[in-house]
Chains A and B, each alone.
Chain A
Amino acid sequence: EVQLVQSGAEVKKPGATMKISCKVSGYTFTDYYMHWVKQAPGKGLEWMGLVDPEDDETIYAEKFQGRITITADTSTYTAYMELSSLRSEDTAVYYCATGSMQVVVPPDYWGPGTLVTVSS
C-alpha cells in the first residue's frame, strides 16, 4: 500500500524559510515523480513543482521560481520542499503527491497535507 507521511504543522515568521518533508512507503521511490501542491485557506489548488527522484530533475511553476527547492533523498525515501522569503500569502496547506511515471500523468497518491502558518 502506497503511503505518504508528511511532517507536522509549522509556524514561521515573514522572511523565514520553511522546509517540509514527505516520507513514502509501499513503492520504489525512484519509480514516480513527486509533486508539491499548495492550498491557501478557503482557496483552490496550486501546483508548485516536482522532482524526479531517479535523477533529481526538477520542474518548478514560474510563480515560485527562485524561492522553491524540491529535493529527494533516495536513502530515506523522503522528499522535501523548501520555500524561502516567506510572506503571509504563503500560509497554506502543502500537499505532496505521487504515482505518476510521466510528467503528463496526474498524481493519484496524496499525503494528508502540512499546514504552514506565516505570521509575525
Chain B
Amino acid sequence: EIVLTQSPGTLSLSPGERATLSCKTSHSASASYNVNSSYLAWYQQKPGQAPRLLIYGASSRATGIPDRFSGSGSGTDFTLTITRLEPEDFAVYYCQQYSSSPRGLTFGPGTKVNIQ
C-alpha cells in the first residue's frame, strides 16, 4: 500500500509570499517505462468546491494553470511551489500518486495554506 505524507499540515503565509509544499511517497512514483517521468499530481481545493488539477507528471502544469505554480521532484520526494501567493491561492493542496500494484490512485492528507 502506498502512503503519501504531506508537510506541513498547515502553512500560514501572506499574499505575495512564496509557498513550498512537500509530498513524500512510500513507493517511488517513477514511471516503469521512463524513470524521468513520474506519476505524481497536485490538486487545489477551495471550500465547497471540487478539486482542481494543478500539476501532473510531477512538473507539468494542467491547462489554464498560472505559471506561479510549479512542481518538482522525482522518486519519492516532490514539491509544489507557489512563487507569489495571490488571495485566491489560499486553499488546501493534495498530492496524488498512481500505483501499479495494486492499481489505483492514492491521495495525500493535504496541506492547508492559510492567510497569515
A residues with CB within 8 A of B: 35, 37, 44-47, 49-50, 59-62, 95, 97, 99, 103-108, 110-113
Q: How many A-B residue pairs have CB under 8 A?
A: 60
- In the complex formed, the residue of A with least CB distance to B98 is A104
Q: How far is the CA of A14 from the CA of B116 in the complex (A)?
A: 42
- The answer to whether A106 touches B53, judged by C-beta atoms less than 8 angstroms apart, is yes
- The answer to whether A47 touches B53, judged by C-beta atoms less than 8 angstroms apart, is no
Most buried by A among B41, B103, B104, B106: B104
Count residues of chain B with CB under 8 A from any CB of chain A: 26
- The answer to whether B105 touches A47, judged by C-beta atoms less than 8 angstroms apart, is yes
- The answer to whether A45 touches B94, judged by C-beta atoms less than 8 angstroms apart, is yes
- In the complex formed, the residue of B with least CB distance to A102 is B98
Q: How far is the CA of A110 from the CA of B98 in the complex (A)?
A: 18
- The answer to whether B104 touches A106, judged by C-beta atoms less than 8 angstroms apart, is no
Which chain A positions have C-beta within 8 A of B103?
A: 59, 103
